[in-house]
Amino acid sequence: MGEEKVELKITIPKSLYDKIKEEADNAGFTDIEEFIRFVLEQLVESGETGEELSPEDEEKVKERLRALGYID
C-alpha cells in the first residue's frame, strides 16, 4: 500500500504555468504534476541553502567574521 496522499489545489500565474509545462516537457516528465512533485521533493529534501558558495569562499567569509569578532 502506498503512502497516503493529500490533494492540494493551488493557483499560479499563467506565465509560470507555461514555463513549468515547458520545463516538464523538455525534461521528459509524463505530466506537469509529476514534475512539480519532483521539484518540491528536491527542494525540501536536498537541504539546499540557495547560496552559491565554494568552500574557499566560505572560508573567506569565516575569516572576515573572525576578524570582526563574530566567531572565534
Partner 1 sequence: MIPRPHGGRLVNRVLTGKRREALLREAEELPSIEISYERLIDLMDIAHGAFSPLEGFMVQEDYLHVLYDMRLSNDLPWTIPVVLDVDPEEISGVKEGDDLALKYNGEIVAVMRIEEIYGWDKKEYARQVYKTTDKNHPGVAKTYNRKELLVGGEIDLLREPSHPLENRILWPIETRVLFREKKWRTIVAFQTRNVPHRGHEYVQKAALTFTDGLLIHPLIGWKKPGDYRDEVIFAAYEALIKYYYPKDVVVLAGLLMNMNYAGPREAIHHAIVRKNFGATHFIVGRDHAGVGDYYGPYEAWEIFDEFPDLGITPLFIREAFYCKKCGGMVNEKICPHSEEYRVKISGTKIRRMIREGKIPPEYMMRPEVARVILSFKDPFVH
Q: How far is the CB of 51 from partner 1 (least distance, A)?
A: 5
Q: Are 39 and 21 in contact (CB under 8 A)?
A: no
Comparison of 27 and 71: residue with beta carbon closer to partner 1: 71
Q: How far apart are CA 69 and CA 63, in angstroms?
A: 10
Handedness of CA 15, 20, 23, 24 (dihedral sign): negative
Chain residues binding partner 1 by CB under 8 A are 12-13, 15-16, 43, 48-53, 58, 61-62, 64-65, 68, 70-71
Comparison of 2 and 55: residue with beta carbon closer to partner 1: 55
Cell representation of residue 54: 565554494
Comparison of 30 and 46: residue with beta carbon closer to partner 1: 46
